[in-house]
């Protein structure tokens, strides 16, 4: 029935219970491989297969692809660490010590979701007041701004929570410099000084830091549930699941308390509510009852909650193997609209969409790259 919620994909249920991997038939593996490829999770699945039954129990034709995914992730991690060393030097000379976000933070801090994970670019968080200084320092060190049209520049600088992505002229790597975790235009912007104040140094002598555990999980939730592009949603949910699982095992109730308190202080509890709800449904994340009930104060009304569940769960499913391609398409479109709605007040949104539809220069080359799927690893 169209109103029923879809069951988790095979990939999701394997992520939730990695022991299942050892018992998959070849036909099931074919499905998992396609879903993992789309979500950039081949390396992760390889890691899970190795730690649950061993790669030998994986059928022969699948094994190579998994091994290749892990290889790519290991090399990617090395490249990210190298990039961080370079960046450290490039920002160190102006005495700036940013906090790493997302993929780069997972790799550098070796969080539980790190083995096998791919990340394409480095995201850092600097204080709002220092963003200009950071940009200048980075430009001196060979980082160039992209998105050069006047509109795009204004879009980022006035309305977004980050600079336009920068690209290093020699190394070709990309860097996103954030000053917050939600755009300037949201109705209640989080107080990002809390994030930086509680950030933890990595302890590897590099001087770089990562967000505190509760903030890392919160940012993961905020990022996914304000985003309109859900191609790799299951990967991001798996990040969230691993972080919550790992941190709560380490810190117990202290973690849950900090998660609730900080989500409230940053005015982002509703994102954490959605993330926990989805990750419980798809990945079986264990969440104490008191956390669920504390967050339910943030929950939307029953009808809206049902609609959101329907949209999130359909959108998190895999497109090509989906048995419900139309519902899948509707939900992804709905999320795209929702993300615009969250990020911009109505008039600004109208203006933005008008510009994008009618005035923005058509960039065929960029389209082609996007079509080739090059931009799909977040």
20, 65, 133, 340: residue in contact with other proteins (rule CB under 8 A): 65
**Which residue stretch of 76-84, 141-149, 218-226, 269-277 sits at the interface with other proteins (rule: CB under 8 A)?**
76-84
Q: Does 55 bind other proteins (CB under 8 A)?
A: no
Based on the shown chain and the rule CB under 8 A, indicate whether residue 121 belongs to the binding site for other proteins: no
For other proteins, the closer CB: 69 or 127: 69
What does the per-residue mask of binding to other proteins show for 194-223, with x meaning CB under 8 A? ------------------------------
CB of 92 to other proteins, least distance (A): 13
Rule CB under 8 A: say whether 373 interacts with other proteins: yes
Q: Is 375 in the site for other proteins (CB under 8 A)?
A: no
User: How large is the C-alpha radius of gyration of the chain?
Assistant: 20
Q: Which helix (H) or strand (E) holds 351?
A: helix 346-354
Q: With 0-12 CB in 10 A as exposed, 13-18 as middle and 19+ as buried, what is 138?
A: buried
Q: Is 37 in the site for other proteins (CB under 8 A)?
A: yes
Token reading at 355? 């510009």
Of the pair 277, 318, the CB lying nearest other proteins is at 318
- Contacting residue, 148, 346, 362, 372, with other proteins by CB under 8 A: 372
* Cβ neighbour number for residue 161 with a 10 Å cutoff: 21
d(CA 46, CA 42): 6
Q: Is 34 in the site for other proteins (CB under 8 A)?
A: yes
DSSP annotation of 34 reads H
What whole-number distance in Å separates Cα of residue 56 and Cα of residue 184?
50
Please identify which residue in 141, 319, 330, 336 interacts with other proteins, judged by CB under 8 A.
319
Applying CB under 8 A, does 27 fall inside the site for other proteins?
Answer: yes
Tell me: does residue 332 bind other proteins (CB under 8 A): no
In the chain, where do the E strands start and end? 99-101, 122-125, 143-145, 166-168, 174-178, 200-201, 209-210
Q: Which two tokens stand for residue 113?
A: 């979701």
* Per-residue binder mask for other proteins (CB under 8 A), 218-237, x = binder: --------------------
Please, what is the minimum distance in Å from the beta carbon of residue 351 to other proteins? 28
CA distance 58 to 220: 31
Instruction: Give the helix ranges, DSSP H, for 168-301.
Output: 193-197, 213-225, 233-251, 253-265, 269-283, 289-296
Task: Report the interface residues with other proteins, using CB under 8 A.
Answer: 25-27, 29-30, 34, 37-38, 59, 61-62, 64-65, 67-69, 71-72, 74-75, 78-79, 81-82, 85, 319-320, 367-368, 371-373
């Amino acid at each position: 029935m169209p109103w029923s919620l879809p069951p988790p994909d095979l990939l999701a249920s394997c992520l939730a219970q990695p022991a299942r991997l050892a018992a998959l038939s070849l036909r099931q593996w074919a499905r998992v491989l396609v879903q993992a490829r789309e979500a950039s999770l081949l390396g992760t699945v390889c890691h899970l297969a190795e730690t649950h039954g061993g790669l030998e129990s994986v059928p022969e034709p699948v094994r190579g692809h998994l091994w290749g995914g892990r290889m790519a992730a290991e090399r990617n991690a090395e490249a990210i660490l190298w990039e961080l060393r370079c960046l450290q030097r490039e920002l160190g000379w102006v005495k700036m010590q940013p906090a790493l976000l997302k993929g780069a933070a997972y790799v550098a801090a070796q969080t539980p979701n790190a083995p096998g994970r791919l990340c394409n670019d480095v995201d850092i968080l600097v204080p709002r007041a220092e963003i200009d200084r950071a940009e200048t320092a980075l430009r001196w060190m060979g980082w160039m701004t992209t998105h050069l049209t006047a509109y795009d520049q204004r879009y980022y600088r006035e309305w977004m929570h980050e600079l336009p992505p920068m690209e290093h002229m020699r190394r070709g790597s990309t860097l996103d410099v954030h000053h917050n975790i939600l755009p300037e235009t949201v109705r209640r912007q989080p107080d990002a000084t809390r994030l930086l104040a509680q950030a933890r140094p990595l302890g590897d002598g590099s001087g770089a830091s990562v967000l505190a555990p509760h903030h890392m999980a919160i940012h993961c939730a905020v990022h996914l549930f304000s985003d309109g592009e859900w191609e790799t949603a299951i990967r991001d949910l798996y990040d969230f699941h691993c972080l919550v699982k790992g941190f709560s095992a380490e810190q117990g109730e202290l973690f849950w308390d900090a998660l609730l308190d900080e989500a409230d202080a940053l005015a982002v509890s509703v994102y954490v509510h959605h993330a926990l709800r989805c990750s419980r449904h798809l990945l079986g994340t264990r969440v104490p009852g008191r956390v669920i009930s504390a967050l339910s104060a943030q929950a939307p009304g029953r009808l809206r909650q049902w609609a959101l569940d329907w949209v999130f769960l359909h959108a998190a499913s895999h497109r090509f193997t989906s048995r419900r391609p139309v519902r899948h398409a509707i939900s992804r479109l709905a999320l795209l609209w929702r993300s615009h709605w969250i990020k911009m007040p109505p008039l600004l949104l109208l203006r933005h969409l008008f510009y994008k539809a009618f005035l923005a220069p058509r960039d065929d080359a960029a389209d082609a790259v996007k079509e080739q799927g090059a931009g799909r690893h977040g």
